[in-house]
């Protein structure tokens, strides 16, 4: 698991050229990890833009054409598409192909991957990394740097599969990520609290603000620097991707949501009864946790995320 040699691929097929697909294309190219990249996307316009951006060497007309000669297949679509894609790979992928995905839910991917024949080496992956932007134009080669990528390997112990797990871990390390390995069920629980619930809450806040009659949208916009604007970042993420996350991680999200709601009701009660001590005790926990996240290299120490030092076009660089 600690092999530091970057893996080398000949033909890489990327299915779904959005933020993650385009970032992986750029990162693979920047590190010289593949000779060629073949793009596959059900949206022909996306595929044309990916070619124009030089993200891919070839735009495949079909899944069959795109994957049949690939030694690395990257599935970077919303997780709802996994079943259909796995069916196509069963038919068209060549022997020994290494397959990864980048989905934010792993149980559903593991179930689909387990239906593949032994000749195909699917190692479910989740790079915990992204931005609120979507599409092939949104990608950048450093997206995975310093972030964690979680692998949830299948219950296979054959040498070919163990080799594929090592290779996939080395691939993610080569594009700058740190690698953790766990089972799909634990992944889905951990990500329910660190990613899915935060997104659901952000979407909920936007909805609640939208429905208020007494406060105008103009006021919400003007006074959003009071905190609201922070939530709009993750609420601006791709709606299809997030619909699929919630449809495929129902139990863990509802469990996390139950904890959240209990905590919220407790704080609401403290507000109603004017219990300043309880509020203060609850509010004190934030600073320590943020400090730990900054120390771990997962967040900037700059006040306001450093956004005040950015120009309005986002073109500032170090």
First to last CA, the chain: 34
> Do strands 98-101 and 72-75 pair parallel, antiparallel, or not at all (unpaired)?
parallel
The token pair that represents 173 in the structure block: 């390390």
**Applying CB under 8 A, does 125 fall inside the site for its own copies?**
no
| Sheet strands side by side (includes 34-40) | 58-59, 34-40, 9-15, 72-75, 98-101, 121-122
Q: Which stretch binds its own copies (CB under 8 A): 24-32, 84-92, 168-176, 218-226?
A: 218-226
Nearer to its own copies, 69 or 137 (CB): 137
Q: Which of 5, 42, 62, 302 binds its own copies (CB under 8 A)?
A: 302
The token pair that represents 165 in the structure block: 């797990």
Q: Which stretch binds its own copies (CB under 8 A): 5-13, 50-58, 68-76, 196-204?
A: 196-204
**What is the Rg, in whole angstroms, of the alpha carbon atoms belonging to the chain?**
21
The token pair that represents 198 in the structure block: 């935060």
**Applying CB under 8 A, does 204 fall inside the site for its own copies?**
yes
Nearer to its own copies, 89 or 191 (CB): 191
Work out the widest C-alpha separation in the chain, in whole angstroms: 67
**Applying CB under 8 A, does 22 fall inside the site for its own copies?**
no
Per-residue contact flags (x/-) with its own copies for residues 87 to 116, judged by CB under 8 A: -----------------x------------
By CB under 8 A, how many residues form the interface with its own copies? 121
The token pair that represents 191 in the structure block: 């990500």
**Applying CB under 8 A, does 299 fall inside the site for its own copies?**
yes
> Residues 155 to 194: which contact its own copies by CB under 8 A?
178, 180, 186, 189-191, 193-194
**Applying CB under 8 A, does 1 fall inside the site for its own copies?**
no
d(CA 251, CA 253): 6
CB of 45 to its own copies, least distance (A): 18
**Applying CB under 8 A, does 43 fall inside the site for its own copies?**
no
* H-type alpha helices, the chain: 19-30, 44-52, 63-67, 82-92, 107-113, 159-174, 184-191, 197-211, 217-222, 228-235, 239-248, 250-272, 276-283, 285-295
**Applying CB under 8 A, does 137 fall inside the site for its own copies?**
no
**Applying CB under 8 A, does 293 fall inside the site for its own copies?**
yes
């Amino acid at each position: 698991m600690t092999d530091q040699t970057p893996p080398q691929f000949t033909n890489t097929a990327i299915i779904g050229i959005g933020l993650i697909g385009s970032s992986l294309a750029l990162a693979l190219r920047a590190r010289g990890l593949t000779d060629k990249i073949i793009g596959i996307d059900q949206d022909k316009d996306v595929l044309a833009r990916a070619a124009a951006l030089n993200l891919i060497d070839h735009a495949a007309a079909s899944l069959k054409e795109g994957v049949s000669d690939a030694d690395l297949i990257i599935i970077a679509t919303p997780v709802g598409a996994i079943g259909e894609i796995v069916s196509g790979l069963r038919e068209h992928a060549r022997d020994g192909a290494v397959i990864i995905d980048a989905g934010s839910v792993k149980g559903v991917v593991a179930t689909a991957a387990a239906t593949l024949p032994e000749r195909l080496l699917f190692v479910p992956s989740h790079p915990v990394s992204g931005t609120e932007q979507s599409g092939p134009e949104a990608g950048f080669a450093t997206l995975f740097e310093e972030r964690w990528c979680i692998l949830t390997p299948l219950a296979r112990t054959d040498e070919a599969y163990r080799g594929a797990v090592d290779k996939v871990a080395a691939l993610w390390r080569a594009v700058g990520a740190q690698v953790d390995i766990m089972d799909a069920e634990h992944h889905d629980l951990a990500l329910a609290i660190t990613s899915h619930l935060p997104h659901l809450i952000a979407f909920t806040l936007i909805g609640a603000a939208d429905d208020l009659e007494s406060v105008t949208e103009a006021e919400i916009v003007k006074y959003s620097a009071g905190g609201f604007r922070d939530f709009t970042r993750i609420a601006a993420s791709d709606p299809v991707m997030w619909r699929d996350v919630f449809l495929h991680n129902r139990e863990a999200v509802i469990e996390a949501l139950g904890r959240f709601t209990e905590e919220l009701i407790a704080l609401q009660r403290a507000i109603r009864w004017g219990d300043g001590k309880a509020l203060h005790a609850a509010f004190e926990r934030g600073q320590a946790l943020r400090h730990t996240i900054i120390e771990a290299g997962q967040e900037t120490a700059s006040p306001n995320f450093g956004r005040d030092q950015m120009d309005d076009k986002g073109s500032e660089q170090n």
